Amino acid sequence: MSKVMTATEAVADIPNGASIALSGFGVSHRYPSTLITALRDAGPTGLTVYCNGLGQPGFPTGTLLADNHQISRLVTCFSARPGFVSEAEKQIAAGEMELEMVPQGTLVERMRAGGAGIPAFYTPTGYGSAIAEGKDIRYFDGRPYVLERAITADYALLRAQRCDHMGNAVFRGGSANFNVSFAKAARIAIVEAEEIVETGQIAPQDVDLPGVFVSRVVPITVRMDIKNLPMRANRPATSSREYAGKPALTREQIGRRVAALLPDSAIVNLGAGLPTQVANFVSARPVILHSENGMLNYGEFARGDNFDPDYHDAGGFFVTLRDGASFFDSVTSFEIARGGRLYAVVLGTYQVGGNGDLANWSAPGQIGGGIGGAMDLAAGAQRVIAMCEHTDSKGNPKLLDRVTFPVTTPGCVDFIVTDLALLRRPSRAAGARFVLEEIAAGFTVEEVLAVTGMTVDVAADVGVMQENWI
Cα distance between residue 66 and residue 36, in whole Å? 11
H helices of 95-230, where?
A: 104-116, 179-185
Annotate 423-440 with DSSP letters as a single string: EE-S-SSTT---EEEEE-
- Strand partners for 195: 162
Cα distance between residue 155 and residue 435, in whole Å? 51
Cα distance between residue 466 and residue 470, in whole Å? 9
Torsion sign (Cα): 325, 328, 334, 336 = negative
Cα distance between residue 201 and residue 300, in whole Å? 35
Torsion sign (Cα): 49, 54, 58, 59 = negative
Cα distance between residue 298 and residue 283, in whole Å? 8
The whole-angstrom distance between residue 53's C-alpha and the CA centroid of its chain comes to 10
Distance in angstroms between the alpha carbons of the first and the last residue of the chain: 59
Q: Ramachandran region of residue 58, left (φ > 0), alpha (ψ -120 to 50) or beta?
A: left
Say if CB 231 and CB 239 are below 8 A apart: no
Cα distance between residue 247 and residue 351, in whole Å? 21
Cα distance between residue 397 and residue 110, in whole Å? 37
- Provide the annotated active-site residues: 292
Whole-angstrom Cα Rg for the chain: 22
How many CA atoms, within 13 angstroms, populate the side-chain half-sphere of residue 112?
16
Say if CB 240 and CB 256 are below 8 A apart: no
Question: Exposed/middle/buried for 467, CB within 10 Å: 0-12, 13-18, 19+?
Answer: exposed
Q: What is the DSSP letter of 228?
A: G
Helix (H, G, I), strand (E, B) or coil at 155: strand
Say if CB 449 and CB 243 are below 8 A apart: no
